[in-house]
């Protein structure tokens, strides 16, 4: 019989990577704080790390934090990074529409696989894609027309509003920040289309949260203090995030502005097609230097103010807790308990002085307008408009621990800010300091 091939059957492999070293590399890669894409609407397992990182830098961090016996070459580290993980660097700058992607895939498949008798199906898919793109373009056309109306008529204004990308405090280039939780700095952008003036309402996570009450509070402040009193027709544009913009609290708030406060005669609220929501707010944020060296929250104010010169610098408003009000609680008695409108498919909402009981809406840009009664029959007196928060919002003990490590990267005079942060389960900052011995650094 022919000799048996014994190649590869031996166990002498001096260059084989040890299992514990492989595990150490994988654990090190997992220790970096990644996140899924904010923009890609289709399901994906891909995780993104900050664009300030790369594989070579991660490998150098690994060598610094592991003993010599665990050292590996860059090629080995890179091989495990590429084969064991689905990780990218930076974040997509433009929205990817799930429906566009789906239609593109179906069209490509149809062109490659379908026979001539199935041309009708290919034509239908192409038509669906064209209709979808036209719907998306209609939103931008309506926004452009609103800008023109606002520029020509002093009683009309059009604004775009949205929350911006969260920023970190402190914001440093040290490798420690990739492993630690940082304080969140929040900015809410209002862009006036007629003048291209941009307002940034700024606060950190100890001041307020990011919900419908906060959106209504900042819009109310803008309407009272920064919008000309002669404006009676208001056109609003924002994305369809249900937790912040497309919800019953905001609809009741707009109805209140027209029928209770008599601030406006009519308001129109429009939402873009999902996946096609690149707005002026995104352009405003793109000019901000998000890699600036920051110790304290108020230093972000200076970075934002200096981000643009023409047509005018950004206007930064530092939000205090007395700005944020409990609009959801305040509006509840005057309106129906549950929203009578299925908000998800709605493209436009209308609030008009001539219709005091209803809000009008439509699901398509050129379809028929429907109306729904939102005002309650109850004569119950609404509770007073209270302040949402009367003391700093505490952060988690884990985040507090991480910030105590990161504050060492800040100048000595700025470190006290992090020491005095409120902590969940600790009554005061002094107690938090006393309990430091219980925290595992």
Model confidence pLDDT, tens digit, residues 211-259: 999 999 999 999 999 999 999 999 999 988 888 888 999 999 999 999 9
φ/ψ of 216, rounded to 5, equals: -65, -40
* Least trusted range by pLDDT, from 6-10, 177-181, 241-245: 6-10
| 124 confidence band (pLDDT: 50, 70, 90) | low
For the ranges 47-51, 169-173, 313-317, the maximum mean pLDDT occurs at 313-317
98, pLDDT greater than 80: no
Q: What is the DSSP letter of 18?
A: P
Instruction: Give the pLDDT confidence score for residue 240 in this predicted structure.
Output: 82
Higher-confidence residue of 124 and 171: namely 171
Share of the chain above pLDDT 90, in %: 54
Per-residue tokens: 169: 């405090």
44, pLDDT greater than 80: no
Instruction: Give the pLDDT confidence score for residue 338 in this predicted structure.
Output: 93
Instruction: Give the pLDDT confidence score for residue 434 in this predicted structure.
Output: 44
431, pLDDT greater than 60: no
| 422 confidence band (pLDDT: 50, 70, 90) | very high
198, pLDDT greater than 80: yes
Instruction: Give the pLDDT confidence score for residue 244 in this predicted structure.
Output: 86
128, pLDDT greater than 70: no
Residue in the structure block whose two tokens are 């129109």? 268
Higher-confidence residue of 352 and 19: namely 352
| 50 confidence band (pLDDT: 50, 70, 90) | confident
Q: Where are the alpha helices (DSSP H) in 181-243?
A: 212-225
**Looking at the DSSP assignment, which residues form a beta bridge with residue 236?**
159, 269
Instruction: Give the pLDDT confidence score for residue 211 in this predicted structure.
Output: 92
CB atoms within 10 A of CB 78: 15
Instruction: Give the pLDDT confidence score for residue 438 in this predicted structure.
Output: 40
Q: Report whether 407 contacts 346 (CB < 8 A).
A: no
Q: What is the DSSP letter of 375?
A: B
Instruction: Give the pLDDT confidence score for residue 14 in this predicted structure.
Output: 61
Tally DSSP H helices, then E strands, for the chain: 13, 12
Q: Report whether 315 contacts 197 (CB < 8 A).
A: yes
**Looking at the DSSP assignment, which residues form a beta bridge with residue 101?**
none
| 277 confidence band (pLDDT: 50, 70, 90) | low
Instruction: Give the pLDDT confidence score for residue 273 in this predicted structure.
Output: 73
**3-class secondary-structure state, position 120:** helix
Torsion, Cα of 316, 35, 403, 56 (10° steps): -110
CA angle 304, 35, 411 (to 5 degrees): 45
Share of the chain above pLDDT 70, in %: 82
pLDDT average, residue stretch 36-59: 73
CB under 8 Å, gap of 24 or more: what pairs does 396-403 form? 396/181, 396/423, 396/424, 397/423, 397/424, 397/425, 397/426, 397/439, 398/181, 399/181, 399/182, 399/183, 400/432, 400/439, 401/439, 401/440, 401/441, 402/180, 402/181, 402/182, 403/180, 403/181, 403/182, 403/183
pLDDT average, residue stretch 386-414: 93
Instruction: Give the pLDDT confidence score for residue 139 in this predicted structure.
Output: 80
Instruction: Give the pLDDT confidence score for residue 66 in this predicted structure.
Output: 86
The mean pLDDT of the chain is 85
135, pLDDT greater than 80: no
CA of residue 104 relative to chain centroid, distance: 27
Instruction: Give the pLDDT confidence score for residue 191 in this predicted structure.
Output: 96
Q: Give residue-wise pLDDT tens across range 16-31.
A: 677 888 888 899 998 8
Instruction: Give the pLDDT confidence score for residue 133 in this predicted structure.
Output: 66
């Amino acid at each position: 019989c022919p000799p048996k091939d014994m190649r590869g059957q031996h166990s002498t492999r001096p260059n084989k990577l040890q299992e514990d070293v492989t595990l150490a590399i994988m654990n090190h890669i997992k220790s970096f704080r990644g996140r899924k894409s904010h923009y890609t609407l289709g399901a994906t397992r891909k995780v993104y790390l900050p664009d300030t990182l790369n594989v070579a830098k991660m490998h150098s961090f690994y060598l610094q934090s592991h003993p010599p016996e665990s050292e590996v070459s860059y090629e080995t580290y890179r091989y495990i990074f590429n084969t064991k993980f689905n990780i990218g660097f930076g974040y997509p700058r433009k929205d990817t529409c799930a429906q566009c992607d789906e239609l593109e895939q179906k069209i490509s498949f149809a062109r490659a696989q379908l026979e001539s008798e199935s041309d009708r199906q290919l034509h239908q898919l192409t038509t669906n894609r064209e209709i979808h793109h036209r719907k998306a373009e209609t939103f931008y056309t309506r926004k452009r027309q609103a800008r023109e109306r606002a520029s020509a008529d002093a009683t009309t204004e059009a604004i775009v509003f949205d929350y911006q990308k969260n920023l970190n405090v402190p914001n440093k280039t040290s490798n420690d920040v990739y492993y630690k939780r940082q304080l969140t700095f929040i900015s809410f952008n209002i862009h006036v289309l007629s003048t291209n003036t941009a307002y940034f309402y700024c606060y950190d996570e100890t001041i307020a949260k990011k919900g419908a009450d906060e959106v209504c509070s900042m819009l109310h402040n803008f309407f009272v203090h920064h919008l000309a009193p002669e404006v009676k027709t208001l056109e609003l544009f924002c994305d369809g995030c249900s937790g912040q913009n497309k919800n019953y609290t905001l609809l009741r708030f707009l109805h209140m502005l027209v029928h209770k406060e008599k601030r406006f005669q009519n308001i129109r609220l429009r939402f873009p097609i999902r996946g096609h929501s690149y707005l002026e707010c995104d352009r405003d944020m793109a000019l901000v230097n998000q890699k600036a060296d920051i110790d304290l929250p108020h230093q972000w104010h200076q970075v934002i103010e200096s981000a643009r010169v023409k047509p005018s610098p950004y206007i930064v408003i530092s939000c205090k807790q007395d700005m944020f009000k409990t609009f959801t609680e305040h509006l509840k008695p005057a309106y129906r308990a549950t929203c009578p409108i299925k908000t998800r498919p709605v493209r436009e909402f209308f609030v008009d002085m001539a219709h005091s009981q209803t809000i009008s809406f439509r699901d398509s840009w050129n379809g028929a307008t429907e109306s729904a009664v939102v005002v309650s029959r109850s004569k119950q007196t609404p509770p007073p408009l209270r302040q949402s928060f009367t003391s700093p919002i505490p952060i988690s003990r884990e985040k507090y621990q991480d910030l105590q490590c990161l504050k060492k990267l800040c100048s000595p005079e700025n470190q006290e800010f992090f020491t005095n942060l409120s902590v969940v389960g600790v009554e005061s900052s002094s107690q938090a300091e006393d309990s430091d011995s219980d925290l595992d650094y």
